[in-house]
Amino acid sequence: MAGAGVRKRRWAIVLACAAAAAVVGWTARQLWQPDADIGRPVADARPAPPAHLEEPASSAEPAGAASASQNASDLRADPIGAAPDLRRLYDQFAASADPKQRRIAARAFGACIPAFLPSAGQAPSPESLIQALPPAQKGEREAAYRALYARCSRFMDESRAQLASTHQALQRDADAREPGARAAQALLDGRVDQVDRLIAQATASADPAAIESLSGIAVRLARERNPDQSDAALAETARAVDAALPAVACDLGLDCSANSLWSLQLCATAGACQGDLTARLAARAGSDPVDPVLVQRQRERLLALLRSGRALSAADLLP
């Protein structure tokens, strides 16, 4: 009985570490808590971009050439991580017929809403979040919140009701949700047959943020495979895979620098403010970190599989 208790406690730690590793997909699914009023139904499943005029093209460059150049820039591996104006990306991609582009819009919106959604009757501001910070590392976390708010500020041109409606519309657009989040939900719902399809969707997209969104799935798969939680080696492998996936996403082009959106989010919400994203994730793992040798081994294995050009399955993710 004592051994069973130890195993249960260890699995609880495993799940906590996996949740910490999934921070890059933080955009409202993990660390921001939805506002209580964001739940009203809307008519359309796909949000239309707000009416907003882009800045005119420079007279030195034809408008069509400027647009093509901007689109190419925005469709690089990670258009979100260094973007100074997340509203512009949302406006550009929200009504796209391409689910991958709508996921870019959803990430841009989710990085800002509901986090900075003003309370009823209040002006938009990061001050309430800043005032709630504990004394430890308050300066760094305040700076991170202010940097995030600056990137989000043009969303605040919309009313609270409009932002809440758009949030709900994005929630209803299944294709705009991250494949990893959908795979996790499928496992929770017992729809195991759908998991391979969603993992393949994430890994075939050449989209590092979609790949990172799978972090946390390996531990869930291990629990599905070993429900009595008795296989310690499987648990360690699952932890290493989940910890490796964000690093793999960095290798594939996710902006993991200290000033990236993802690093700022981790600083603001969790107080992990030192180093780049991988260093912050390691610090966030706390008192029970995953063996770095195992993580590196899984990082190299997964990267090789992804660079081979084929979509992965659950069996590839957790062999």
Neighbour tally for 27: CB within 10 Å: 26
The pLDDT score that the predictor gives to residue 76 is 64
The answer to whether 117 and 164 have CB atoms below 8 angstroms apart is yes
Contact (Cβ atoms closer than 8 angstroms) between residue 86 and residue 106: no
User: Please, what is the end-to-end C-alpha distance for the chain in angstroms?
Assistant: 29
**Residue owning tokens 């932002």:** 163
Contact 277, 263 (CB under 8 A): yes
Local structure of 27: helix, strand or coil: helix
CB 178 within 8 A of CB 210: yes
- For 69, 72, 92, 104, 181, the CA distances from 149, given in Å and listed in that order, are 27, 26, 20, 18, 25
Q: Which two tokens stand for residue 194?
A: 């759908």
Output the tens digit of pLDDT for each of the chain's 319 residues.
444 444 444 433 333 333 334 334 433 333 344 333 443 333 333 344 433 323 333 333 344 433 444 444 455 689 999 999 999 999 999 999 999 999 999 999 999 999 999 888 888 999 999 999 999 999 999 999 999 999 999 999 999 999 999 999 999 999 999 999 999 999 999 898 899 999 999 998 779 999 999 999 999 999 999 998 889 999 999 999 999 999 999 999 999 999 999 999 999 999 999 999 999 998 887 777 889 999 999 999 999 999 998 899 999 999 8
Position of tokens 């959106």?
261
Q: What is the DSSP letter of 288?
A: S
CA–CA separation, 95 vs 50, rounded Å?
A: 10
Cα separation, 174 vs 176, whole angstroms: 5
Other CB atoms within a 10 A radius of the CB of residue 63 amount to 11
What pLDDT is recorded for position 50? 39
22, burial (CB in 10 Å: exposed 0-12, middle 13-18, buried 19+): buried
